[in-house]
Amino acid sequence: MHYLFLGEENSFLLFLFNYFLTFLNKISFTIFPLNKIKNVDEIFKLLKKELDKYEIPVINRAKKDIDDTPFNTLISCVLSLRTKDEVTEKASLRLLKKYNTPEKLLTLSEGEIESLIYPVGFYKTKAKRLREISKSLIENYSSEVPKDFDELLKLKGVGRKTANIVMVYGHKKTGYIPIDTHCHRIPNRLGWIKTKTPEETEVVLKKILPEQYWDDFNDMFVTFGQKICVPISPFCSKCPIEHHCKKINVKRSR
C-alpha cells in the first residue's frame, strides 16, 4: 500500500496508525502465539544460492557513482516508489551526483528537479516532495536525516517502507524489515502468514522470522519476487523452495 500520493503528509490519523504499529513491534503476541516458520534455515540457504546470480534491488545495493549516505538513500527511495529499478537508478544518478545534500537540492526549482528525475512515476509530485523533505531536514534536523524511525515518519512523503529502508540501508541499523509488495505477497503465498497489508506483515514477520534473517529479507524477497515468484503465474518449475511453498492463491504457474 502506498501512501505517498494519498495525502500521507496531511493525515494525523495515519501518523497515529504508524505510531501504533511501532508500538506493536515492541511487544509480544502473548494471547495468540504465532507459529514459527518451518525449515527457515534451509529456505534462506536455498534462496541465497539461487539469488546470488541476480543483482539486488537498486535502493539496497551499495552506491557506486553517488555517495552512500542516508540522504541519498532517502531520496532514491522516494524516487523508486511506483517506478522500475532501472529508471530509478538513472534518475537518482542524474539528480544526486551533483545535488546530494538538502541545501544543494533546494537550489533547484521544482521544474528543474522534474527534468532531472523524469520519467519516474509521479515525477511532478515527487519533485515537490523532494523540496519539502530537504527544507524539513534543514529546518528541523540540522540538515541530517533522522536516525529515529518515528522522526522519519514525520517527513512528507515518507511511509513505513521508506523509513525502514533508510534505517537499514542508509543508517546501517539492524532491527528493521522493509516491506514492499513482494515482501508482503510472498510470505502469504508460502503460507507463513495471513495478513492483508504490508504494515501488518511487518509486525507479524518480526514475531516469527529469526532476527538473523531480517537484514537480508528485503534484498532476497524483492529479487525473488521480481525474477521467480512473480505476482501472476510464478515460475514454480524453477523455484528453489517450491517444496516448502503452500502456493496460497496461486491459480496458475509456469
Distance, CA of 122 to CA of 118 (rounded, Å):
9
The confidence score (pLDDT) of residue 146 equals: 98
Peptide bond just before 119 cis, omega within 30 deg: yes
Question: Which class would CATH give 34-56+177-244?
Answer: mainly alpha
The confidence score (pLDDT) of residue 2 equals: 43
With a CB cutoff of 8 Å and minimum separation 6, the contacts of 247 are 189, 236, 253
Instruction: Give the model confidence (pLDDT) of 101-117 as tens digits.
Output: 999 999 999 999 999 99
Per the CB < 8 A criterion, the answer to whether 246 and 214 are in contact is no
With a CB cutoff of 8 Å and minimum separation 6, the contacts of 34 are 204, 207, 208
Write out the three cell numbers for 48: 541465497
Residues of the chain with pLDDT under 70: 1-34, 58-64
Provide the 8-state DSSP code for 63.
Answer: P
Distance, CA of 217 to CA of 209 (rounded, Å):
9
With a CB cutoff of 8 Å and minimum separation 6, the contacts of 37 are 43, 192, 208, 209
- pTM for the model stands at 0.82
Cβ atoms < 10 Å from Cβ of 44: 19
Instruction: Give the model confidence (pLDDT) of 223-244 as tens digits.
Output: 999 999 999 999 999 999 999 9
Distance, CA of 59 to CA of 96 (rounded, Å):
13
Q: Where exactly are the structural domains of the chain?
A: 34-56+177-244
The confidence score (pLDDT) of residue 192 equals: 97
The confidence score (pLDDT) of residue 29 equals: 43
Distance, CA of 45 to CA of 144 (rounded, Å):
37
User: Is the torsion defined by CA of 153, 156, 162, 166 positive or negative?
Assistant: negative
